[in-house]
Structures are given as C-alpha cells and as structure tokens.
Structure 1
C-alpha cells in the first residue's frame, strides 16, 4: 500500500512540474509574440502581413500611450470593440492597421495609421453614419481620408 501512495505522490509531482513547465513555455511564447515598445515606433515596420491580435498590437506601451492621448475616451471603445481584422500593411513609409466590430464591420470600424516620415499617428473611428478622424499633427492623413471615403 505504501508503494502505491509513494508512486501516486511521485506522479502528482511530475504532473505538477509538467504543468508548470507548460505554463512557463506559454508565457515565454506570449512574450515573443508581443510587439516592441520602441518610442521611435520603428518596430511597426516588422509587422507587415501580420494580424494585430497575433502580435498583441495593443500591448505596445509606446503605441498605446500615443493612441490614448490621441483618442482620449474613444481609445477604450476602439480597443474593446476591435475584433475582426485584416493583416497589417506597411508600405510607402506608412503603417496601417484596420479592425472592426464583429458581425458589424460595415457600421463600426477603425483604422490606425502611422507615418514614419512625419512621425505622426492618425486614426479613424466609424460608428454608423458618424466618422471621426484624429491626427497628432492636426493634418488629414491621406490614408485615413481614403478609408473615410471607401465606405
């Protein structure tokens, strides 16, 4: 009987160690997939063709700090509603990420544009017929305006 008790204890210890190692591996994998926090925003160049969710785009401190300042109280709405997305585009010195509300893409959608040349972050939020655009330097980003006019 003692032999079975010892064996069970050993098995439980091994199982616990296995789960711990799996959990650690999962944390390391998550950290590897999170985008950088370089204040220069150059890390965004490496995201071509990747999905915002896969790279944990909204976990980037440097990007989210600027987005929060730019969007104010609309930031939380965007992040909590952003569900469906297309691959990120990095082209002509522009980073472009698009997302929309699940089952409601036509009415509620978003765009984030970063211009590497101007070091300028722009965004757009569409809710039904209401469209708001935002830009750190107060300009109208041509890429955001294209998004506005395509719906």
Structure 2
C-alpha cells in the first residue's frame, strides 16, 4: 500500500470512530437536583403547625439547606426569640455543622465565614419540651436566648462542646 492510500484509510477509520462515539445529548434536564428535592420535601413538611412532627428528621441535615432559619415553621419563633439579633444570625450563618441529636435535644451551629470568633451561634431545640435556645458568641461575650425562659439542659457531648467554645472565647465554662 502506498502512503496516500494509508493516509486515506486512516482518515476514514478516524472519521468512523468519531461517528460511532457520538456524544449523547440529554434533552430533558430535571428542574431540581437531589439536594433541592430533599429541601423541597422538608419545606413542605415544615409548614406543619406542630414542629415536633418534623424535628426528628433534621438529624444530619444542614440549617441552610433546610431553610430552617427563614422558611420553616420555627422561623417566626426564632425571630421573636432573637429580636434584633435575628437578621444578624441569618446573615452570618455561613459555615455550619449539621444537626445532631442527643437525647431529646437537637443541635446545630453556624458562624460567619472566616470570622467564627466574632459571630458564632449554637441552636438547641428540645423536641420533648418544644423549646428553642440560641447561644450567640461574639467578641468574648456570650448571649443566651431562651424561649419562655426555658433553659435546655445540655449534657454529655453537647455540654462538653459548649464548654470548649466558652474556653476558646475566654468565657467561664458551664457547670
């Protein structure tokens, strides 16, 4: 075979390989991804009057992803509880931990990205008593917001974590 025939054969072979490896195009793209499907499901659940119905489902979910601070049935309660500090908490809740559960207490924390020492929040929800507490750490100061003056009793790892945060913020630890 001469060189010209070889080149022609290689071009035809390459062209047929390209045609056979045609890229599949997706014509119907879903409007949501798996994350937003979970969020939408939780949003609809969160409109239930009694938040106890959905609190148990929050474990391992994020506060931001569930829109708990802004669109859940707990949002108005948080706004009432925090007053003028509510908007600051929503704005600065950027870096977060997912919800954990210890006994009847759900916990999540969030802080301002790159500035956790000045804007840090711990959200505690007692699912049995249906009460909320928010601990706000800012500039070596701790403000505790308790719903109906009900102080959620923290034990074990929750108490240990709170005490560690207090030490890091130069605040006396809880007993």
C-alpha distance in 1 between matches for 2:119 and 2:140: 9
C-alpha distance in 1 between matches for 2:70 and 2:83: 17
Largest Rg, 1 or 2 = 2
CA deviations 1:38-87 (Å, max 9, x no partner) are: 23212111011122222222243311010001000100000000000111
Helix, strand or coil at the partner of 1:54: helix
TM-score by structure 2 length?
Answer: 0.64
Helix, strand or coil at the partner of 1:62: coil
Helix, strand or coil at the partner of 1:143: coil
Give 5+ residue unaligned stretches, structure 2: 1-26, 166-175
Native 8 Å contact 1:86 1:97 kept in 2: yes
Helix, strand or coil at the partner of 1:78: helix
C-alpha distance in 1 between matches for 2:69 and 2:151: 23
C-alpha distance in 2 between matches for 1:150 and 1:139: 23
C-alpha distance in 2 between matches for 1:138 and 1:107: 25
Native 8 Å contact 2:131 2:150 kept in 1: no
C-alpha distance in 2 between matches for 1:143 and 1:88: 15
Structure 1 residues 104-119: aligned runs within 5 Å: 104-119=115-130
> Residue 163 of structure 2 corresponds to which residue in structure 1?
149
CA deviations 1:96-116 (Å, max 9, x no partner) are: 111111012233210111112
C-alpha distance in 1 between matches for 2:42 and 2:132: 23
Aligned length: 132
- Does residue 51 (structure 1) correspond to residue 62 (structure 2)? The answer is yes
C-alpha distance in 2 between matches for 1:129 and 1:74: 17
The higher relative CO (CA closer than 8 Å, separation ≥ 6) is in 1
Shift in Å at residue 22 of structure 1?
4.8
The 1:101/1:44 distance shift into structure 2, 3 A limit, reads: same
Q: CA RMSD in A?
A: 2.7
Native 8 Å contact 1:114 1:121 kept in 2: yes
> Residue 82 of structure 1 corresponds to which residue in structure 2?
93
Structure 1 residues 118-129: aligned runs within 5 Å: 118-129=129-140
TM-score by structure 1 length?
Answer: 0.73
